[in-house]
Structure 1
């Protein structure tokens, strides 16, 4: 009986191999190729749906989160050398196909096979999944009590005692100590696989797959650091004077900014967020009642998270219950992601912009058009219409909010350059590197005995090499928001044509064009720092 089972298994395997070879031989025409890609993309989309569902279950707590099984479906595609060879052969002939859509599909498939080989690597996948679960399920302790990240963030903003702020800030180090060795091992594994594909390291590969020019990126980020350095130093000096302290530490920033550039949390009630979110978007033309978007508030290791389960039929997002205007900004940002998902019109799964396989989309673009929605929340016209804030409160907030925005930029620069340097040399003293990054970008020293925090960031695990996308997204959102202001003027917060412009210019065509072409077509110019620096009041 056992022999018969083995023989049957061998026969099935031979049939599969024979079928693959036959299919490869049969794909000799353009129409055959289209039919083959259509079938392959159905399998790809099924894998995306399963991965999205597994991640939703993990963070929402609504079901079993089988990340390993979800990644196995991707492995069956992206570790298949026969499919990869077919894609490479037809991509090399794409210029002769006279079909822009087909050529684009082949291009993204080719990129996804580069990224998918690492994403689907069984050793890397297991380590990623285990570390992701460790971070997600970690229980922080403040003295003898359990405390969540949202509670830490809320208390840091309002706590007046600097010693208590320091203790709260250091709580995150509990997770970093647990995750550090696993993270370093993961970085090394990713680097090894990237080098085997001909890239300097995993970060260089990641930027290539998103079509972000590395030299341009570093030059742009260094320019932003230089142009905001003086104003940020002035903010620190003014804060020292205002609070009568000689030294500012990193755990002081949230409280300082809350007092410098705050608008009362009472104007942003948590229990009204979805009502206000829907009311505003209805006013600019999105029919929110008919959109397949699910919303949830729950403690997660992010400010918020949107998952496009199945594009365009199912998008879901979770908000971490932080306080104040930041909660509304995150909500609008995540809703922006969801709007992109449900308003994507392209029918081919590889062009829909699923986030799972590196090479399928550019994170900077999706973050940028999501952040475009968050720009409305700090617009004085929006604040006047959708909150109970007085005009004096709004004017004060608008005049001082750039302090917090510059801090957020420089904090993200710190996170980006830490990770960028970590991938260059993962065996270096990363604790010292982290302290050096705090000094360079936040202009503060950390006491020597302060424990490290870097490995607690879930971004380094789940969304590696991603922090630059948040900075580029601010540039994108600022540039596009200037277009909206110029195009719609004072009617920008209640003109139904706003949604039509956003959908047709930014959502509908998915990944048919490179991200930078879409930005240029929508704004009339290539992406630059000007609009962002104007928003920060660094230039006029």
Structure 2
């Protein structure tokens, strides 16, 4: 009887010790996770204090350069881009992010997402400072040259809107060709620098363990290159027959419009610089409804009608053509706090 009790007591003691060890370990892991989570929160706080004011300053400079087209404004914007990007080259910060990521201690879903975005942002910039500056300066130079480009058609500088007006309304093939070809001269202006930046970006991507910049850009933006390719292949398969049918209708219409054979149709015959908008092959003039109207006032009233106040945004935006201005429509969030400009 005493022997039985002794064995039972020993078993109980063993279980108590085992459970104590287990719970002690769990407690230690829990404490470690809490410590790591707090450390990451502190990292974010420090990061935001550095980045937030610089991002706003950079975005304001980018917007000003895009509107003015002045070299001095592009220079200021470029210098600020370099300054902001160099935050992400910090080796110590990246080491911390790598530690947070590999620890698997960040369990809060929002924090996990922030960690993933920060890690990828830093990873793409773990490169030599000289290469980084060269890449940003090349990118800015290309943007400036492309944004300030105006097509030269028969000795006259034309805006994109004037080019589109010709392509939409003219029935003269020579005039259409001159206008369309004039826009393509922008390629001659930037081609050498585009080739340089492609080679440099691919070189950087390979140094970081990717096959090329395209792959790196997609993967660090949560995209799978194979899935993207599969998606577009599927889209092509689903639409190519219908597109061919519609394209046939367009060709019939434009052959009659220009009094040429369908085989003689060229890119400048389709009423758009890039064949990215539906040509006007059906009798519908939408512009009629807006002639003589104040478009800004109409837009403001519309958004007011759906409960969105945009007066402040309109006041800060730059809505109409001017020399040197970026002709592409774009919308920019300046500070993630409501300052949005068009």
Structure-1-length-normalised TM-score = 0.50
Q: Which of residues 187, 198, 211 in structure 2 aligns to 1:187?
A: 198
Counterpart residue number, 1:407? none
Separation of aligned partners in 2, 1:219 and 1:171: 36
Provide the secondary structure at the position in 2 that maps to 1:50.
helix
1:69, distance to aligned residue in structure 2 (A):
1.7
1:203, distance to aligned residue in structure 2 (A):
0.7
Provide the secondary structure at the position in 2 that maps to 1:122.
helix
Larger mean CA deviation between 31-40 and 214-223 belongs to 31-40
Q: 1:287 to 1:118 in 2, by over 3 A?
A: farther
Counterpart residue number, 1:250? 267
Separation of aligned partners in 2, 1:135 and 1:288: 30
Match runs of 1:147-166 below 5 Å: 147-166=158-177
Separation of aligned partners in 2, 1:119 and 1:148: 40
Counterpart residue number, 1:40? 47
Structure 1, residues 398-451: CA drift from partner, whole Å, max 9, x if none? xxxxxxxxxxxxxxxxxxxxxxxxxxxxxxxxxxxxxxxxxxxxxxxxxxxxxx
Q: Which structure has the greater CA radius of gyration?
A: 2
Counterpart residue number, 1:298? 320
In structure 2, the gaps of 5 or more residues are 1-34, 273-277
Separation of aligned partners in 2, 1:216 and 1:262: 39
- Does 1:313 pair with 2:338? yes
Q: Which of residues 84, 95, 118 in structure 2 aligns to 1:85?
A: 95
Counterpart residue number, 2:186? 175
Separation of aligned partners in 2, 1:279 and 1:262: 25
1:257, distance to aligned residue in structure 2 (A):
1.1
Counterpart residue number, 2:294? 272
Contact 2:91–2:126 at 8 Å: present in 1 too?
no
Separation of aligned partners in 1, 2:326 and 2:68: 13
Q: 1:207 to 1:119 in 2, by over 3 A?
A: farther
Match runs of 1:94-173 below 5 Å: 95-117=104-126, 121-173=132-184
Provide the secondary structure at the position in 2 that maps to 1:304.
coil
Counterpart residue number, 2:241? 230
Contact 2:67–2:326 at 8 Å: present in 1 too?
no
Counterpart residue number, 1:260? 282
Q: Which of residues 50, 55, 62 in structure 2 aligns to 1:55?
A: 62
Provide the secondary structure at the position in 2 that maps to 1:305.
coil
Contact 1:118–1:190 at 8 Å: present in 2 too?
no
Provide the secondary structure at the position in 2 that maps to 1:297.
coil
Separation of aligned partners in 2, 1:142 and 1:173: 11
Q: 1:30 to 1:236 in 2, by over 3 A?
A: closer
Counterpart residue number, 1:31? 38
Larger mean CA deviation between 191-200 and 289-298 belongs to 289-298
Contact 2:333–2:341 at 8 Å: present in 1 too?
yes
Q: 1:240 to 1:29 in 2, by over 3 A?
A: closer
Separation of aligned partners in 2, 1:132 and 1:119: 23
Contact 2:127–2:204 at 8 Å: present in 1 too?
yes
Provide the secondary structure at the position in 2 that maps to 1:199.
coil
Structure-2-length-normalised TM-score = 0.76
Q: 1:151 to 1:186 in 2, by over 3 A?
A: same
Q: 1:270 to 1:231 in 2, by over 3 A?
A: farther
Provide the secondary structure at the position in 1 that maps to 2:59.
helix
Structure 1, residues 23-77: CA drift from partner, whole Å, max 9, x if none? xxxxx65334322321211212223212211210111119833122212322331
Structure 1, residues 191-232: CA drift from partner, whole Å, max 9, x if none? 111111111111111111221222121111122222222222
1:264, distance to aligned residue in structure 2 (A):
3.3
Q: 1:39 to 1:252 in 2, by over 3 A?
A: same
Q: Provide the alpha-carbon RMSD of the alignment.
A: 2.7
